[in-house]
Amino acid sequence: MSEYLPGLAGVPATKSNISDIDGEKGILAYRGYPIEQLADKSTFEETCMLLLNGKLPTTQELEEFEQRLHSNRRTQFHIRDLMKTFPPSGHPMEMLQTAVASLGMFYPGNECLTGTGACEDLDYIYNMSVKIISRMGTIVAMWEHLRNGYEPPEPRDDLNYAENFLYMFTGKDPDPLMARIMDVCLILHAEHTINASTFSVLVTGSTLASPYSVIAAAIGTLSGPLHGGANQRVLEMLDEIGTPDKVEEYVDKRLAKKEVIWGMGHREYKTKDPRATILEKLVNKVMESQGKNVNPLMELAREVERVCEDRLAHKGVYPNVDFYSGILYNEMGISADQFTAIFAIARSAGWLAHWREQLADNRIFRPTQMYIGEPLRDYVPIELR
Ligand code: COA
């Protein structure tokens, strides 16, 4: 029997041509395009097409895709009614998982998932993908209003994905700089090889479950603090530390108790996550636009980064994507418990690209185990125990 590797570290779970990481050099590329170039030049809509389709779209293809995304932004009133029954104190990730799972009841579509050969019906894949990607943003934005007791605004067809999300989320016309920053955040979070939530996409997708079940499973997986939930924890951690002079003591105490520092470390990267570098620059951009030279949260974060580099660099532990994303969203006025839900909106594109790839060459996931329990033995009647 082969060796058991906890967390399947280093074990290939699939063959994929969607994205790639060079963890030593700190390189991330979607379909071969470096993340820095996509963040600089692309849009979330174009990046969705690149991920789903494997190539950059022509102007006409992009316009058609944007049109399909726009026309799927509205959700049935029943979904809104369902969301009104959720407790306002519920976490946005629990809300999102429940609401996305419910989409399968309102917009069913399993016609391609027959179990007879590969599902390569591009129209079906696109149809389901736009239904989910479009509505993820709507659902997260609607919840921001519903949980505060207000009716959410209707989506607007004259806005791109990021603009419309900010419009629906805040109820105000989006500032162009903030909308572009949100667009870049969505690009940066859209895909990241076979991480835990994407692996759950492969596993659930391999059973030919509906794409709504696939994405609901992935949302649940992303919610954990060792994965996407870390961005919320980073902000809570900075809050708890308070001031830069307390950082060393805080970090050392946690390390002594073998506790992790949130937003640090990655299975793949042994250097600073390239997305963290881009996000850090975006925080500076937001500060500049607000005429701020100093941001106490940023000062604190930089000190955490410095102390962690001193204590953990020899283990290859550096800031990951979640370290600066929470600070950025905080600067944009977004509440901490929504950070991971925004991450999920973006990641739905990568998840669906992997779902498509899995369906094209599917075999149900059914790993094996190393049984370490009792050998076969006879049942003992209760009176003899
Ligand atoms: N704080 C302190 N130590 C950390 C650390 C962190 N955030 N991340 C990793 N380490 C340590 C590990 O404890 C291990 O130490 P050891 O060799 O003495 O046992 C060493 O660094 C190597 O860890 P590694 O095997 O690379 O971690 P992993 O692949 O099992 O776990 C994470 C990866 C992401 C789960 C882990 O880094 C972590 O928990 N980070 C904090 C949560 C987080 O920010 N998650 C978001 C990821 S994008």
Q: Which residues line ligand 1 (CB under 6 A)?
A: 7, 226-227, 230, 260-267, 312, 315, 317, 320-322
Tens of pLDDT, residues 170-198 = 999 999 999 999 999 999 999 999 999 99
Alpha helices for the chain (secondary structure H): 35-41, 44-53, 59-71, 77-84, 92-106, 122-146, 161-170, 176-188, 196-206, 211-222, 230-241, 247-256, 274-289, 296-312, 321-331, 339-360
Where, residue-wise, is CATH 1.10.230.10 in the chain? Answer: 230-331
Cα radius of gyration rounded to whole Å, the chain: 22
What pLDDT is attached to residue 108?
82
What pLDDT is attached to residue 107?
86
Please give the Cα distance from 347 to 217 (Å, whole number): 13
CATH topology of domain 27-224: Citrate Synthase; domain 1 (1.10.580)
**230-331 maps to which CATH number?**
1.10.230.10
Of 24, 192, 264, 343, the residue with max ligand 1 atoms within 8 A of its CB, to mutate for a pocket test, comes to 264
* Mean pLDDT score across all residues of the chain: 94
Where, residue-wise, is CATH 1.10.580.10 in the chain? Answer: 27-224
Tens of pLDDT, residues 200-224 = 999 999 999 999 999 999 999 999 9
Lowest mean pLDDT among 106-120, 253-267, 295-309: 106-120
What pLDDT is attached to residue 25?
96
Tens of pLDDT, residues 98-125 = 999 999 998 887 777 777 666 777 788 8
Are the CB atoms for 138 and 100 separated by under 8 Å? no
Question: 316 CA distance to ligand 1 centroid (A)?
Answer: 9
**Given 189, 266, 273, 354, the catalytic residue:** 266
Q: How do beta strands 27-30 and 33-34 pair?
A: antiparallel
DSSP helix/strand/coil, 319 = strand
Alpha helices for 107-223 (secondary structure H): 122-146, 161-170, 176-188, 196-206, 211-222
Confidence tier at 126 by pLDDT (50, 70, 90): confident
Question: Can 322 be counted among the known catalytic residues?
Answer: yes
Question: Can 78 be counted among the known catalytic residues?
Answer: no
- Cα dihedral 331, 336, 338, 341, rounded to 10, equals 100
What pLDDT is attached to residue 1?
54
**Ligand 1: which residue has its CA nearest to atom 45?**
226
What pLDDT is attached to residue 117?
65
Question: 315 CA distance to ligand 1 centroid (A)?
Answer: 9
User: Higher confidence at residue 3 or residue 379?
Assistant: 379
Of 226, 247, 308, the residue with max ligand 1 atoms within 8 A of its CB, to mutate for a pocket test, comes to 226
